[in-house]
Amino acid sequence: MINWSFSIRDSELKVGTNIRSVQDDGLKRRIVVAARDNWVMYFSRLFPVCGEIDNKVEVLSISHRDIKLLKTTKATGMSPEHYKVLQSYSYVDVLSVKIVDESTLEFMVKNESLILFTEKASQVQALVNFFLVELRKDSNYVRAVKSYITDEKSLLNFRKGDVIKLLHMDSLEPGWQFGSIGGRSGLFPTDHAQLTVPPDYSNMKNATRRKSMISIEKKVISTGGSETIKSRISSSSSFTSFGGSTYLMTEFGMKYFREPLATSEKCIQLISLISYKYIFFFFFLQIPIQESLIYFTDKELSELGAKNFNDLMRFMGDQQSQKEEPERDFVQNMLRLCKEKESLQDEICCQLIKQVTDNPSRESCIRGWRALYIFLGFYNLSINLRPYVLKYLQEIVSNPLHNYQEVAKATEENLHRTMQFGGRRNLPSTLELDAIMKGRSSRRIAIQLPGELKHTARIKPFSIANDVVLEICSTLGIQDIEETKEFSIFAEKKKGRSMRPLRLEEYLFDFLLDDNSVNLFFHRIMWSEPFHFYNDLYVDVHYNQMLPTYLKGNFILPNNINEMEEMIATLAACQHKSGGAGTNPSMQEIKEYLPKTGATKLDVQSIQQQIVHQLNTMQQLKPIEAKIRFLTTGSSMSLFGYNIFTVKKTSNPQIPNPCLVAINQQHLIVIDKDTKDQLMIIPLKEIVTMCTLRPSETSKLPGVQVNYGSAGISRTFSFELKEARELCHTIAMILDTVSSHPSM
């Protein structure tokens, strides 16, 4: 029996660990629908295949929606090994599939032939043909199998691969059909086309997930150097000027909108000499619609799109509402709909743009623009729509006389963020939405720096962790972008019981709560860059982070007792001097300056004498200079630059408990807590996957399981500790950073 264990986080359908725990039939239906609409591999049959020379395809995926060519992608960080989509073909594109021999298939796809080798050739052909037959039933569309070019005005010109909509015409002669394409209609020979699956906008889109978009957008927007979002925006106009297209919203509408047959005749009466379609595409409407703007074959999508448009009109005040509703209700419903129905994201973006274009009501426009600003901070657009929206926003931003230039600029920044990082993952709270709708665009948050230091940042609804990291690094004097990547923002909740670093691209408001129960901390997690001591704050931050680690005894002191006591005395004198004390320290103060040394017993009297001697040599030293000496001296100790955690128990019975686990850019090391002997080492590059473990019946602490190995040898190592989540995410962040910067 299969035990389903999943959580559809992107649709906010929290299921838990067992499907049997879900009693609500309505929730079960929402889970299935959300999975069907959003999961790329939903109910797919997978067949091992290989392609022709230089083809990386390993698996053929066949579902009710399309066929996909896949390859296995090696895991990085906490991500498990998964499939990467190399190419996707909707059934609109598939003309036929035939068996060349018992292990060779030939797909006729658009204008190309695709050859795949598989031992399951007959099963693949049967399954693909089954879907083609079912989807072509009652279709009134054909695809051109060869081009037809003519000067006769009554005939329809098209090229091989074009999809033509068949139209009814009385008294057609045998061998001829009547159809339309791109706003043109005419007769054409029957033998030039074959029946095809009705084209659906969701099939025409190059649908991609939030994280997979990042690699695509790097070709368009440079992420190197110390550029900010704003500077990238100013240099990205080339994105909307390739291919000779003007990228007007009208052009998109002409290509993808349905024929506006379901609107009231009141709209038709507005037409004078201007094309009906042009008014329908980029002028706001004063009347409700009965179908979605974009053509969908799925009736449910069309109805949901039309309902959202009519709700939008009431929200903006363009239609009278029957009851008083908070503004946030529409925005929450819109965002939730787009999570559960990703295919509607382009549709809803078009609706918002349509209703703020040439809308004479200022109040209506303000509401519409704020909704568009929020929408583009949560959802990316398809490759089809994106250049049109970019061009639309850029034209407004470049026009100083436009009434909504500033909000358009903020909206464009959101679009660029979602293109680069993906949108926010969690829906906004009621309080946050109310604040945005009232025009309050930021919230003051105190970021805790090491020690008692704080930095107050103005966090916007779509600020990412990297924005704050760069801001704080700037106050430390750090300008080099590579050096800033060694720092991270940590989110702490439940009063320290849960803490983890945030990836640089994660949105802060996905973690902050209205009750201020989540605290943010700034820490350094990698130490490949040397100390630079740009200013006093830089020194204080590093001193305050390094000192507690040293006093816990986590650094490895010299083995020679005399060298050890000399170093301890020097570091103690630096601590005393950094506090501004002018007299020699008392015995109680000296004890507070000493690290825990485990089994090694120190001669405190000898250390006291050496401290006094050291202080005499430091008389001219300022407190900030004493901190610098502490940092430079302490950085020579072993384990400096490691993130160190105390582990209660490990899966290896040969390792004494408790012990230490230390992580840097190269290794995960297990160390004896008292002797500091190295007990185990795992190169980070050999880590394949990681996961956190829930507390078991025999242990009250969570744990971490690491799967690692090389050359086909797989090993597993697990350990229990309070900071399991923090450790796991720290390793993942280091792996991601190192993999993107191999020189680190």
Q: What is the pLDDT of residues 635-670, one digit of tens each?
A: 999 999 999 999 999 999 999 999 999 999 999 999
384 touches 247 (CB < 8 A): no
- The pLDDT value recorded for residue 19 is 52
- The pLDDT value recorded for residue 218 is 35
178 touches 107 (CB < 8 A): no
Hey, what are 21's tokens?
Answer: 């725990």
- The pLDDT value recorded for residue 268 is 41
pTM higher than 0.85: no
Residues 6+ apart with CB under 8 A from 411: 369, 372, 373, 376, 393
Specify whether domain 443-524 bears CATH 3.10.20.90: yes
Residue with token string 């008389």? 619
* % of the chain exceeding 90 in pLDDT: 50
Hey, what are 171's tokens?
Answer: 């008294």
| Spatial distance between the Cα atoms of 396 and 407, rounded to a whole number of angstroms | 10
| Stretch 42-47: mean pLDDT | 84
Which residue, among 588, 596, 590, has the nearest Cα to 548 in the 3D structure? 596
Domain at 37-136: CATH code: 2.30.29.30
Confidence of residue 243 (pLDDT cuts 50, 70, 90): very low
Residue 642 vs residues 309, 556, 648: alpha-carbon distances, Å? 54, 11, 19
CATH homologous superfamily, domain 249-258+270-438: MyTH4 domain (1.25.40.530)
Burial-class residue 515 by CB neighbours within 10 Å (0-12, 13-18, 19+): exposed
| Spatial distance between the Cα atoms of 390 and 401, rounded to a whole number of angstroms | 19
Sign of the Cα torsion 343, 427, 331, 400 reads negative
- The pLDDT value recorded for residue 744 is 53
Residue with token string 């368009």? 220
- The pLDDT value recorded for residue 397 is 96
Q: What is the pLDDT of residues 375-427, one digit of tens each?
A: 999 999 988 899 999 999 999 999 999 999 999 999 999 999 999 999 999 99
Say if 37-136 and 643-740 have the same CATH topology. Answer: yes
Confidence of residue 297 (pLDDT cuts 50, 70, 90): confident
194 touches 145 (CB < 8 A): yes
Q: What is the pLDDT of residues 312-321, one digit of tens each?
A: 999 999 888 7
| Stretch 37-61: mean pLDDT | 78
Buried b (16+ CB within 10 A) or exposed e, 18-39: eeeeeeeeeeeebbeebbebbb
| Spatial distance between the Cα atoms of 93 and 666, rounded to a whole number of angstroms | 47
Chain center to CA of 392: 25
| Spatial distance between the Cα atoms of 172 and 126, rounded to a whole number of angstroms | 35
Q: What phi and psi, each to the nearest 5 degrees, are found at residue 370? A: -65, -40
Q: Is the pLDDT of residue 214 over 70?
A: no
- The pLDDT value recorded for residue 140 is 87
681 touches 668 (CB < 8 A): yes
Q: What is the pLDDT of residues 564-586, one digit of tens each?
A: 999 999 999 999 999 887 788 99
| Spatial distance between the Cα atoms of 569 and 385, rounded to a whole number of angstroms | 66
| Spatial distance between the Cα atoms of 161 and 338, rounded to a whole number of angstroms | 32
Confidence of residue 672 (pLDDT cuts 50, 70, 90): very high
Q: What is the largest CA-CA distance in the chain?
A: 113
> H or E stretch including 276?
helix 276-282
Q: Is the pLDDT of residue 225 over 50?
A: no
- Which range has the worst mean pLDDT, 15-29, 46-60, 104-118, 669-683? 15-29
Specify whether domain 141-195 bears CATH 2.30.30.40: yes
Length of the chain equals 744
Identify the three-state secondary structure at position 691. strand
Which residue, among 270, 307, 308, has the nearest Cα to 286 in the 3D structure? 270
| Spatial distance between the Cα atoms of 307 and 378, rounded to a whole number of angstroms | 21
Hey, what are 257's tokens?
Answer: 């909108």
- The pLDDT value recorded for residue 641 is 93
| Stretch 674-701: mean pLDDT | 88
| Strand-strand pairing, 443-448 and 184-189 | unpaired
Q: Is the pLDDT of residue 21 over 70?
A: no
Amino acid at 238: S
pLDDT greater at residue 351 or residue 82: 351
Q: Is the pLDDT of residue 311 over 70?
A: yes
Confidence of residue 8 (pLDDT cuts 50, 70, 90): very low
Start-to-end CA distance of the chain, whole Å, equals: 47
| Spatial distance between the Cα atoms of 344 and 429, rounded to a whole number of angstroms | 22
Confidence of residue 349 (pLDDT cuts 50, 70, 90): very high
Residue with token string 């902050």? 512
- The pLDDT value recorded for residue 113 is 84
Which residue, among 638, 651, 655, has the nearest Cα to 708 in the 3D structure? 651
- The pLDDT value recorded for residue 688 is 86
| Strand-strand pairing, 519-524 and 443-448 | parallel
DSSP per residue, 182-235? TTEEEEEEGGGEEE-PPP-HHHHS----TTTHHHHHTTTS---TT--HHHHHHT
**Helix 362-378, helix 430-437: angle, nearest 10:** 140
- The pLDDT value recorded for residue 600 is 67
596 touches 553 (CB < 8 A): yes
- The pLDDT value recorded for residue 286 is 84
Identify the three-state secondary structure at position 239. helix
- Taking phi over 0 as left and psi of -120 to 50 as alpha, with beta for the rest, 658 belongs to beta
> H or E stretch including 471?
helix 465-475
* Listed ranges 247-251, 265-269, 300-304; the one with the highest mean pLDDT: 300-304
How many CB atoms are closer than 10 A to CB 267? 17
- Which range has the worst mean pLDDT, 110-114, 195-199, 329-333, 405-409? 110-114
Q: Is the pLDDT of residue 95 over 90?
A: no
| Strand-strand pairing, 643-647 and 519-524 | unpaired
| Spatial distance between the Cα atoms of 729 and 744, rounded to a whole number of angstroms | 19
DSSP per residue, 585-614? PPHHHHHHHSPP-TTPPP-HHHHHHHHHHH
> H or E stretch including 645?
strand 643-647
Residues 6+ apart with CB under 8 A from 466: 504, 505
- The pLDDT value recorded for residue 15 is 47
| Stretch 495-520: mean pLDDT | 88
Residue 175 vs residues 192, 194, 226, 642: alpha-carbon distances, Å? 10, 13, 64, 77
Residues 6+ apart with CB under 8 A from 726: 490, 499, 500, 501, 645
| Stretch 301-307: mean pLDDT | 93
| Spatial distance between the Cα atoms of 375 and 406, rounded to a whole number of angstroms | 17
Q: Which CATH number fits domain 643-740: 2.70.150.10, 3.40.50.720, 3.40.50.1370, 2.30.29.30?
A: 2.30.29.30
Which residue, among 282, 299, 281, has the nearest Cα to 290 in the 3D structure? 299
Q: Is the pLDDT of residue 238 over 50?
A: no
Amino acid at 507: Y
Average pLDDT score, the chain: 83
Confidence of residue 304 (pLDDT cuts 50, 70, 90): very high
Q: What phi and psi, each to the nearest 5 degrees, are found at residue 552? A: -70, -10
- The pLDDT value recorded for residue 81 is 64
| Spatial distance between the Cα atoms of 172 and 360, rounded to a whole number of angstroms | 48
- The pLDDT value recorded for residue 626 is 95
Q: Which sequence spans correspond to the domains of the chain?
A: 37-136, 141-195, 249-258+270-438, 443-524, 554-636, 643-740
How many CB atoms are closer than 10 A to CB 340? 18
| Spatial distance between the Cα atoms of 443 and 511, rounded to a whole number of angstroms | 14
Confidence of residue 66 (pLDDT cuts 50, 70, 90): confident
| Spatial distance between the Cα atoms of 353 and 618, rounded to a whole number of angstroms | 68
Respond yes or no on whether the N-terminal peptide bond of residue 658 is cis (omega within 30° of 0).
yes
- The pLDDT value recorded for residue 170 is 86
Q: Alpha helices of 15-89 — where are they, by DSSP H? A: 25-38
| Spatial distance between the Cα atoms of 119 and 103, rounded to a whole number of angstroms | 5
Q: What is the pLDDT of residues 164-208, one digit of tens each?
A: 989 888 888 999 999 988 778 899 999 999 998 887 776 565 433
